[in-house]
């Protein structure tokens, strides 16, 4: 049965509803985030907003306090859902390295298996032009692609994400090109919700002081829920409010959290900034591109192809004809057979040479030598051959001496001539 892309996805993401929604590996933290939003709002609606329903008789303004709190909470939860359940801008993986980037260095070939093969070169960094300026992009060994500019590999999700900002554990998802807008709106809306709940709780304390509880302590004792909500919203506002201000600065300067923390000490020029107004328009008014991954499509079986590194081992010189895998096996068998024949031939030649040397030795020894050797007793021929000592006949010595005397006389005659 054919499988879909999300079923064989190599990242650490989690999919639900048949691959329609994609979450990060820490999606369980969403329940904590939702509880931190919903529980305070429920307490506010039950113990504060309900008591304010009849405190503003004109135009039934008390009901507006409750309706705004509920609507604002739904708005924040919807932004949280859009941030955590969509593709943040994952770059599709490749099944093999980009072969068009491989180059073969024929100037310094290497010897592999007795054959000359060119050396393989693979660039790890490339340069691309962004706004008329060169920007270096790196090769990702996990995804086997060159990362686009402002792209980084998330070690938690195990994906390359375009315009990677950071991985947020509170939303259980990477923040990238396709969900950064919703993430900022979620954080800023959460800050506004904290301000609203804090203000309405303080207003309720003020109303209690105006009615039957003249002091602050008596009013706070009458509505402890308001006090708890004010403390909770004050602490939360430091977090979400500070985060909102920080991302306003990043948007104005067209930076990401990753770039700000990594390159803040480099004093490098920001090639992506186009001015404060255009930077805001780019984040909030630009069209969100569709996902580059079709998680619900069926997996297309790809024909297995060898790696370029393996192909490099099988390359031959340019003047040799191309050979297939079967021819390679036959060549290996022929080489093995030739090696066996050569070893046997060397063995036979050694044996023949030893026999011929023995025959020559026997022929050099005369019958008189054999008689002398017999009178002296048996002699081991192998030891005698190793020592190199031989008995020279008297006839040989006399002949050599006569030849040497004749040579000396002829040399003297030549010197005496005028």
For residues 16-43, one letter each, b for 16 or more C-beta atoms within 10 angstroms of the residue's C-beta and e for the rest, the string is eeebebbbbebbebbeebeeebeebbeb
Looking at the structure, do residues 121 and 194 belong to the same domain, yes or no? no
The residue among 32, 5, 171, 16 whose CA lies nearest residue 88 is 171
Looking at the structure, do residues 74 and 169 belong to the same domain, yes or no? yes
Residue with tokens 């900022």: 184
**Could you tell me the two tokens for 176?**
């990238």
Q: What is the count of structural domains for the chain?
A: 3
Looking at the structure, do residues 81 and 100 belong to the same domain, yes or no? no
Element (H or E) spanning 342, and its range? helix 325-364
CB neighbours of 156 closer than 8 A, spacing ≥ 6? 12, 24, 25, 26, 167, 174
Looking at the structure, do residues 73 and 110 belong to the same domain, yes or no? no
User: What pLDDT is attached to residue 293?
Assistant: 92
Q: Is residue 313 part of a domain?
A: no
Q: Which among 279, 302, 325 is the end of a domain?
A: 302
What span, in angstroms and rounded, lies between the C-alpha atoms of 208 and 219?
6
Q: Is residue 49 part of a domain?
A: yes
Q: Which among 257, 279, 302 is the end of a domain?
A: 302
Q: Is residue 154 part of a domain?
A: no
For residue 224, give Cα distances in angstroms to 12, 26, 92. Answer: 44, 35, 53
User: What pLDDT is attached to residue 367?
Assistant: 45
Range of the domain at 66: 5-91+164-302
User: What pLDDT is attached to residue 175?
Assistant: 96
Q: What is the DSSP letter of 223?
A: -
Half-sphere exposure of 1 (CA within 13 A, CB side): 3
User: pLDDT digit of tens for each residue in the chain (418 aa)?
Assistant: 788 999 999 999 999 999 999 999 999 999 999 999 999 999 999 999 998 887 777 667 788 999 999 999 999 999 999 999 999 999 999 888 876 655 555 554 545 455 555 555 667 888 888 877 888 889 998 998 999 999 999 999 999 999 999 999 999 999 999 999 999 999 999 999 999 999 999 999 999 888 888 888 888 888 999 999 999 999 999 999 999 999 999 999 999 999 998 877 677 788 898 899 999 999 999 999 999 999 999 987 655 555 544 454 444 444 445 454 444 444 444 544 554 454 555 554 554 555 455 555 545 444 444 444 444 444 444 444 444 444 555 554 555 555 455 554 454 454 455 4
Q: Is residue 323 part of a domain?
A: no
Looking at the structure, do residues 224 and 236 belong to the same domain, yes or no? yes
Looking at the structure, do residues 184 and 281 belong to the same domain, yes or no? yes
Q: Is residue 151 part of a domain?
A: no
User: What pLDDT is attached to residue 163?
Assistant: 94
Q: Is residue 329 part of a domain?
A: no
Looking at the structure, do residues 247 and 344 belong to the same domain, yes or no? no
Looking at the structure, do residues 174 and 289 belong to the same domain, yes or no? yes
Q: Which among 81, 113, 146 is the end of a domain?
A: 146
Looking at the structure, do residues 39 and 115 belong to the same domain, yes or no? no
For residue 107, give Cα distances in angstroms to 118, 226, 242, 376. Answer: 8, 80, 59, 71
User: What pLDDT is attached to residue 339?
Assistant: 46
State the virtual CA torsion across 13, 19, 22, 23 in degrees, nearest 10.
Answer: -60
Looking at the structure, do residues 52 and 28 belong to the same domain, yes or no? yes
pTM score, two decimals?
0.69
Q: Is residue 112 part of a domain?
A: yes
User: What pLDDT is attached to residue 183?
Assistant: 97
Looking at the structure, do residues 168 and 263 belong to the same domain, yes or no? yes
Looking at the structure, do residues 198 and 270 belong to the same domain, yes or no? yes
Three-state SS for 136?
strand
Which of 157, 168, 174, 233 is an active site residue? 168
Check if the beta carbon of residue 25 is closer than 8 Å to that of residue 156.
yes
140 is catalytic: no
Q: Is residue 43 part of a domain?
A: yes
What span, in angstroms and rounded, lies between the C-alpha atoms of 241 and 250?
14
**Could you tell me the two tokens for 13?**
């993401």
């Amino acid at each position: 049965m054919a499988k879909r892309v999300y079923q064989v996805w190599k990242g650490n993401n989690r999919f639900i509803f048949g691959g329609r929604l994609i979450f990060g590996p820490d999606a369980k933290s969403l329940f904590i985030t939702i509880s931190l939003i919903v529980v305070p709002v429920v307490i506010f609606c039950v113990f504060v907003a309900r008591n304010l329903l009849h405190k503003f008789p004109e135009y039934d303004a008390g009901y507006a306090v409750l309706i705004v709190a509920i609507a604002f909470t739904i708005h924040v939860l919807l932004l949280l859902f859009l941030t955590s359940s969509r593709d943040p801008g994952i770059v599709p993986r490749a099944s093999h390295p980009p072969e068009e980037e491989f180059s073969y260095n024929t100037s310094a070939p290497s010897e592999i298996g007795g054959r000359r093969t060119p050396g393989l070169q693979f660039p790890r960094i490339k340069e691309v032009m962004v706004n008329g300026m060169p920007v270096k992009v790196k090769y990702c060994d996990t995804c086997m692609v060159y990362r686009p500019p402002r792209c980084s590999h998330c070690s938690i999700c195990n994906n390359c994400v375009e315009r990677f900002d950071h991985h947020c554990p509170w939303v259980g998802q990477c923040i990238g090109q396709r969900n950064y807008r919703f993430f900022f709106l979620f954080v800023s809306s959460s800050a506004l919700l904290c301000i609203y709940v804090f203000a309405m709780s303080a207003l309720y304390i003020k109303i209690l002081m105006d009615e039957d509880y003249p002091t602050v302590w008596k009013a706070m004792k009458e509505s402890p829920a308001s006090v708890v909500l004010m403390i909770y919203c004050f602490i939360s506002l430091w977090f979400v409010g500070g985060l909102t201000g920080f991302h306003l600065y990043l948007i104005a300067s067209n930076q990401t959290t990753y770039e700000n923390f990594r390159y803040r000490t480099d004093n490098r020029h920001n090639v992506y900034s186009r001015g404060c107004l255009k930077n805001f328009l780019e984040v909030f008014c630009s069209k969100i591109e569709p996902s580059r991954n079709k998680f619900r499509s069926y997996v297309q079986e790809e024909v297995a192809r060898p790696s370029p590194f393996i192909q490099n081992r099988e390359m031959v010189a340019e003047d040799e004809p191309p050979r297939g895998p079967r021819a390679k096996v036959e060549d290996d068998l022929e080489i093995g057979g030739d090696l066996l024949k050569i070893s046997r031939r060397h063995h036979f030649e050694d044996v023949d040479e030893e026999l011929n040397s023995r025959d020559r030795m026997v022929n050099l020894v005369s019958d008189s030598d054999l008689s002398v050797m017999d009178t002296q007793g048996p002699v081991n021929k192998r030891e005698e051959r190793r020592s190199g000592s031989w008995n020279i006949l008297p006839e040989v010595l006399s002949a050599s001496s006569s030849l040497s005397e004749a040579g000396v006389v002829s040399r003297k005659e030549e010197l005496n001539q005028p």
